[in-house]
Amino acid sequence: MRICLNYLHLLLILSLFLPALSGAETGKELFDKQCAGCHTIGGGDTGGPDLKGVTATRSHEWLESVIIEPDKLTAAKDSVQVALVKKYGYEMPNLGIGHADALKIIVYLGEASGTARTQGALPSGEQMEIAVTPELVAKGKLLFTGKKRFAKGGAPCAACHPFTYPEISGGNLSVANLATTYQKLGETGMRGALKALKFPTMKKIYQDRPLTDDEIASLIALCKDAASRTGGGSSVFPLAGLGLFVLFMLGLTLYKRRIR
């Protein structure tokens, strides 16, 4: 009888704790939820660096710091963090990941680096390139300015971001001009950034309002078109300035000859 009571007591304890244990997220689940929007494991750089083999090139302490408190690494002027911010144009956001979950992610990165690829991520060169069509750009303009609402109800990009494009005047809450951002990140990186939306202000606004794949494609087409216009027009002013300088020097030479 006593053995039976002890057995029942053990079953009761297990019944209380097993649901909590089974509900705990694995390293892969945490990575897919928190990191996969900007990072791949063997799929190439996107919104952030490819993390394949990162556990072999970065110390455990550094990885833990950059996952839990990336802002403190930046404030401390950590050389690796400073180089990453310079390369990608922004600091990795603080996602509120705790110590235990950070350890799970690091362990998963180590395990996955050998064989795994992030779910849904394609290696560099395998992402389907978005064709810039008038229809897609027009839809991107409507979404950017808010004339067409996002499906999940998120705020329009123009509410915060400046943008270099005809008939669009963006906001000034953010310093990130998305045309310039596209030039830095490229299509793959921009896709990752728009899919994740993990940056501090954006995280609050879009936490339960992710963009659809069609909306992301339309915004990328708009950004790509804006970047090509900026890139194509940037050389006009230096050439014009050079022409004016040549004419000025020629006029000055002729003037000097007349007064001699």
Residue 75 domain-assigned (yes or no): yes
Burial group, residue 256, by CB count within 10 angstroms (0-12, 13-18, 19+)? exposed
Same domain for 140 and 216, yes or no, is yes
Query: At 53, which CATH number?
Result: 1.10.760.10
CA atoms within 13 A on the CB side of 69: 8
Q: Tell whether 143 and 229 lie within a shared domain.
A: yes
State the average pLDDT over residues 21-49.
80
156 and 80 in a common domain: no
Helices (H), 24-97: 27-30, 54-57, 60-68, 70-75, 79-88
Q: 146 forms bridges with which residues in the sheet?
A: none
Q: What total of structural domains would you count in the chain? A: 2
205 in the same domain as 174: yes
Domain that holds residue 170: 134-233
Cβ distance 132 to 192 under 8 Å?
Answer: no
Q: Are residues 158 and 110 in the same domain?
A: no
Any domain includes 13: no
pLDDT digits (tens, 9 = 90+) for 225-241: 988 886 543 333 343 44
The whole-number pLDDT of residue 62 equals 92
Query: In which residue are the tokens 């005809």 written?
Result: 166
Query: Which residues have a Cβ under 8 Å from the Cβ of 159 and sit 6 or more positions away?
Result: 146, 171, 173
128 pLDDT above the threshold of 70:
no
Q: Is residue 209 part of a domain?
A: yes
d(CA 44, CA 63): 19
% pLDDT > 90, the chain: 20
Mean pLDDT within 129-151: 91
pTM confidence score: 0.52
Alpha-carbon span 116 to 110, nearest angstrom: 10
| Residues 53 and 141 reside in one and the same domain | no
Q: Which of 51, 53, 52 is nearest to 66 (CA)?
A: 51
Least confident stretch, 49-63, 98-112, 117-131, 198-212:
117-131
pLDDT more than 70, % of the chain:
72
Q: Do 107 and 153 have their domain in common?
A: no
Residue 147 backbone class (left: φ over 0; alpha: ψ -120 to 50; beta: rest) = alpha
113 burial type by CB count under 10 A (0-12 exposed, 13-18 middle, 19+ buried): middle
Last residue of a domain, one of 81, 115, 149: 115
- Co-location of 141 and 228 in the same domain: yes
Q: Mean pLDDT throughout 56-85?
A: 91
Please report the pLDDT score of residue 33 as a whole number: 82
Look at the alpha carbons of 83, 86, 89, 91 in this order and tell me if their dihedral is positive or negative.
positive
| Residue 142: predicted pLDDT | 93
For the segment 200-214, the average pLDDT, to the nearest whole number, is 81
Using a 10 angstrom Cβ sphere, with 0-12 exposed, 13-18 middle and 19 or more buried, the burial of residue 135 is exposed
Is 146 found in the same domain as 97?
no
Residue 12 domain-assigned (yes or no): no
Q: Are residues 179 and 107 in the same domain?
A: no
* Mean model confidence pLDDT for the chain: 75
pLDDT at 258 over 90: no
Contact between residue 117 and residue 40 where contact means Cβ atoms under 8 Å apart: yes
Question: Residue 65 domain-assigned?
Answer: yes
The answer on 93 and 54 residing in a single domain is yes
pLDDT tens across 79-107, in order?
A: 999 998 888 877 888 888 998 999 999 99
